[in-house]
Structure 1
Amino acid sequence: MSYDLIAILMFAGMMALLLTGQRVFGAIGFIAAVFALLLWGTGGGEIPFSAAMKLMKWYALLTLPLFIYMGYMLSESGIADDLYKMFHVWFGPVRGGLAIGTILLMVVISAMNGLSVAGMAIGATIALPELLRRNYDKVMVTGVIQAGSSLGILVPPSVVLVLYAMIARQPVGQLWLAGVFPGLMMAGMFIAYIAIRCWLQPSLGPTLSREERDVPLGEKLRLLTAGILPFLIFLSMTGLFVAGKTSLVESSAIGAIGATVAAAVRRKLTTKVMRDTIQKTLAVSCMFMWIIVAALGFGAVFDGLGAVKAIERFFVQDLGLTPWEILILMQISYLVMGMFLDDTAMLVIVAPLYVPLVKALGFDLIWYGVLYTITCQIAYMTPPFGYNLFLMRAMAPPQITIHDIYKSIVPFVLVMMFALAVVMAFPEIALWLPHHFYIRG
């Protein structure tokens, strides 16, 4: 049996197990272990051990639990509630203003957390009930929260970009900077869509009543202070790292400490908040670690078969595709896998195969990291099995049906696909800031 056929069987077997509903790390790790033993006998048992040791020595992975802890501490301590009240008061007089404020809230939450799950949880529990209570269209606001939460994996400090940096061996600081303009551009496109839609159909996003809008200027200014603590935490964490004053791990530690201090200053650092934050941090961190261990083992077997070279030969020589056609096929494959996998699983499975090919085709790996992340955002929201669709279904109130959820994401997916096309056509949108900063700095 040829190595090419073995590689195809490995990938097909893994996808078949995932379709049965098995846990991601179990499906990946099982296929890796079985094929390692079949190919190399008892010596293949060293592969999962080596993967675990490689993970333990991966010092930069300390950033994951620290970033996750920071995000959950800020959300569990109620700081996100205060931020929403601020946007609620300032944008209430505008048609669709609360939906626009929700997108801005998601941008801030993304800058505090780096995960889409946290944004979804905050949007569904804080923003969604308020929007529905004020007669906002349930289909539109469901899409707003799903689209806004997807920004968490693009706006720095994105955890997904940290993982991509480790696998692609690219500087995290440059990837974070590369995600800034595309993330803000996409948020701006969401806001423009909401504003235009609500201007054409005012019933979708009515303004607040005069009583709710009648807030003294002093109170409005006081509410603006809700954004000071998150901004200071973000600035101290990413600013020091980008300036070269701290390492990535040190920056994540500063963020975690800053979030804890912020909760204490606001007198929200209770035993329950600390317990819930630690439990959620451990749960998410362990999920990441198990997936990475399994994927490292899978990648080691795949690489041992020469699968990366086989893929390159198949695309370039056998099919005769151009580099851009190959790149588009890669993005399509991410959309398909996004129906079954989350962004982390897709990254650790496919990136070790695609990154060398992208480099061989002459594309910039920093730019490709942004393309991958945007494609994951789209895959998260693509029916029938997009990850965000089921998260929303689990968190939404009963009056929002699965049909409403599927219908709600259509315009936002189209906006995101347009944003992806823009970044592909104009790479400088992603590359200007990191190149300008690192070359000039």
Structure 2
Amino acid sequence: MSYDLIATLMFATMMLMLLTGQRVFGAIGFVAVMAALLLWGDRGGYDIGFSAAMKLMKWYPLLTLPMFIFMGYVLSESKIADDLYKMFHVWMGGLRGGLAIGTIGLMVLISAMNGLSVAGMAIGSTIALPELLKRGYDKRMVTGVIQAGSSLGILVPPSVVLVLYAMIARQPVGQLWLAGVIPGLMMAGMFIAYIVIRCWRNPELGPVLPREERDIPMAEKMRLLGAGALPLGIFAVMMVPFVNGWTSLVESSAIGAMAAFMAAVLKGRMTREVFENSVRNTLGITCMFMWIILAALAFGAVFDGLGAVKAISGLFTEQLGLNPWVILILMQLSFIVMGTFLDDTAMLVIVAPLYVPLVGELGFDLVWYGVLYTITCQIAYMTPPFGYNLFLMRAMAPPEISIQDIYQSILPFVLVMALALAVVMIFPQIALWLPNYVYAN
């Protein structure tokens, strides 16, 4: 049997196991180890899994993963995110669509606190959505705002997904995080511009808050500003030393976790329940990601041994004569299709052994491609009919918001994100300028 056919069978078996509901790491790891056993016997098969585990244990930047997850859960569980929304409520309520704009700001800061899109979705749907609906905002627009804003969690640092990509693509986590800053802020700015234009053309979509809700003493406004800016201060305390080269990435992650913990203690919100929930959730998510990375490394090792990447690269570029940019666009389209039934982690692990080396073979920058992959995942999350975020929103939204409302709400934001993806593809320096500048100095 040819190696090309073996590689095809591996992919087909893995997809079949995933479609039957098997866990992602179990399906991928099982296929990798069984393929290795059949190809190279007992010794080679066992060595694949063992060497992947050793590689994982030696990867020092992986220590950032539990630190940032813990930081995010402490800030979420201690309700510091509630203070953020109160700040936006008071300071932005006088603008048309001001609370929707504030919700995007909230999502950006939640992303900087947590690094997971699910956290932003949960906080947005429980804190922001009821307030927006109560004040007469259009239900379709605000549903789209929360879904689009929460998707920033996997792009704005500290993105947990980019940590996983860094491990599989063998790229520096710090460079990937810095590469996500400007595209993430650009996308948030595009969302805000869309809201402003929609509410300017149709003020009923985002009415101004009544004056009695906005007329509060300046001292109270400043207090809310300080409370809402606390997460931003924690992010600055963590990232400024790293950007200036004073600390390593792992040290900065420890500073961030400690700063979040101390902030919750000083505000009197670090209860036993908050601490236990934060630690338990951190342990669960960290272990999940480590199992997935372990399975991905084993699967990638088998693929490298088969030489599948060079064979597929030759098929596209030599036999079919496709332009590298055409191949890249086809890759992004395949992510969007897979995103209708898989989450970002599963997508990356399934195709990383094939796509990431192929991108390098085609001469593209792997840090830049990490940003493209992440933006494409954001689009895939929200593309009907089976986008991952669509069903999360349906589960969290109140009964008056139907699945049809959710589908219609997201289409304008998907178009905005597709435009952002095209801009980053055409102008790679949007993603690469900041990491190149920081690491050059």
Shifted more, 217-226 versus 146-155: the winner is 217-226
1:353 alignment counterpart: 354
Question: 1:407: Cα distance to partner?
Answer: 1.7
Q: For 1:272-311, what aligned pairs fall within 5 Å after superposition?
A: 272-311=273-312
CA distance in 2, matches of 1:177, 1:45: 37
- What is the letter of the counterpart of residue 217 of structure 1? M
Question: 1:204: Cα distance to partner?
Answer: 1.6
Give yes or no for contact 2:340–2:385 (8 Å, CA) kept in 1. Answer: yes
Question: 1:123: Cα distance to partner?
Answer: 0.6
Q: For 1:43-82, what aligned pairs fall within 5 Å after superposition?
A: 43=43, 44-82=45-83
2:371 alignment counterpart: 370
Over the residues paired in the alignment, what is the CA RMSD in angstroms? 1.5
Give yes or no for contact 2:78–2:274 (8 Å, CA) kept in 1. Answer: yes
Question: 1:169: Cα distance to partner?
Answer: 2.6
- What is the letter of the counterpart of residue 364 of structure 1? D
Question: 1:268: Cα distance to partner?
Answer: 0.4
Question: 1:20: Cα distance to partner?
Answer: 2.2
Give yes or no for contact 2:166–2:173 (8 Å, CA) kept in 1. Answer: yes
Give yes or no for contact 1:72–1:113 (8 Å, CA) kept in 2. Answer: yes
CA distance in 2, matches of 1:41, 1:356: 26
CA distance in 2, matches of 1:20, 1:137: 39
- What is the letter of the counterpart of residue 108 of structure 2? V
Question: 1:388: Cα distance to partner?
Answer: 1.3
Q: What residue ranges of structure 1 are gaps of 5+ in the alignment?
A: none
Question: 1:167: Cα distance to partner?
Answer: 2.5
1:206 alignment counterpart: 207
Paired residues in the alignment total: 440
Question: 1:3: Cα distance to partner?
Answer: 0.7
Question: 1:64: Cα distance to partner?
Answer: 0.8
- What is the letter of the counterpart of residue 369 of structure 2? Y
Q: What residue ranges of structure 2 are gaps of 5+ in the alignment?
A: none
Q: Structure 1 residues 71 and 102, CA, compared in 2 at 3 Å: closer, same or farther?
A: same
CA distance in 1, matches of 2:229, 2:100: 22
Q: Deviations over 1:157-211 (max 9, x none)?
A: 2222222223323232222222111111100110111111112222221111222
Question: 1:409: Cα distance to partner?
Answer: 1.1
Question: 1:313: Cα distance to partner?
Answer: 1.1
Question: 1:383: Cα distance to partner?
Answer: 2.1
Question: 1:72: Cα distance to partner?
Answer: 0.7
Question: 1:390: Cα distance to partner?
Answer: 1.9
TM-score of the aligned structures, taking structure 1 as reference length? 0.96
CA distance in 2, matches of 1:163, 1:246: 22
The answer on 1:12 being equivalent to 2:44 is no
Question: 1:331: Cα distance to partner?
Answer: 0.9
1:168 alignment counterpart: 169
The SS at the match of 2:112 is helix
Q: For 1:28-107, what aligned pairs fall within 5 Å after superposition?
A: 28-43=28-43, 44-107=45-108
CA distance in 1, matches of 2:132, 2:304: 50
The SS at the match of 1:383 is coil
The SS at the match of 1:224 is helix
CA distance in 2, matches of 1:172, 1:51: 19
1:23 alignment counterpart: 23
Q: Deviations over 1:121-154 (max 9, x none)?
A: 1111111111111121211111111100111111
Question: 1:41: Cα distance to partner?
Answer: 3.1
Q: Structure 1 residues 170 and 32, CA, compared in 2 at 3 Å: closer, same or farther?
A: closer
1:154 alignment counterpart: 155
- What is the letter of the counterpart of residue 35 of structure 1? A
TM-score of the aligned structures, taking structure 2 as reference length? 0.96
1:432 alignment counterpart: 433
- What is the letter of the counterpart of residue 130 of structure 1? E
Q: For 1:178-197, what aligned pairs fall within 5 Å after superposition?
A: 178-197=179-198
Q: Structure 1 residues 437 and 252, CA, compared in 2 at 3 Å: closer, same or farther?
A: closer
The SS at the match of 1:409 is helix
Shifted more, 264-273 versus 394-403: the winner is 394-403
- What is the letter of the counterpart of residue 235 of structure 1? A
The SS at the match of 1:181 is helix
Question: 1:436: Cα distance to partner?
Answer: 2.8
The SS at the match of 2:364 is coil
- What is the letter of the counterpart of residue 21 of structure 1? G
Q: For 1:249-264, what aligned pairs fall within 5 Å after superposition?
A: 249-264=250-265
- What is the letter of the counterpart of residue 300 of structure 1? A
Task: Report % sequence identity.
Answer: 77
Give yes or no for contact 2:10–2:31 (8 Å, CA) kept in 1. Answer: yes
Q: Structure 1 residues 31 and 364, CA, compared in 2 at 3 Å: closer, same or farther?
A: same
Shifted more, 72-81 versus 383-392: the winner is 383-392
Question: 1:414: Cα distance to partner?
Answer: 0.5
CA distance in 1, matches of 2:21, 2:386: 12
The SS at the match of 2:229 is helix
The SS at the match of 1:164 is helix
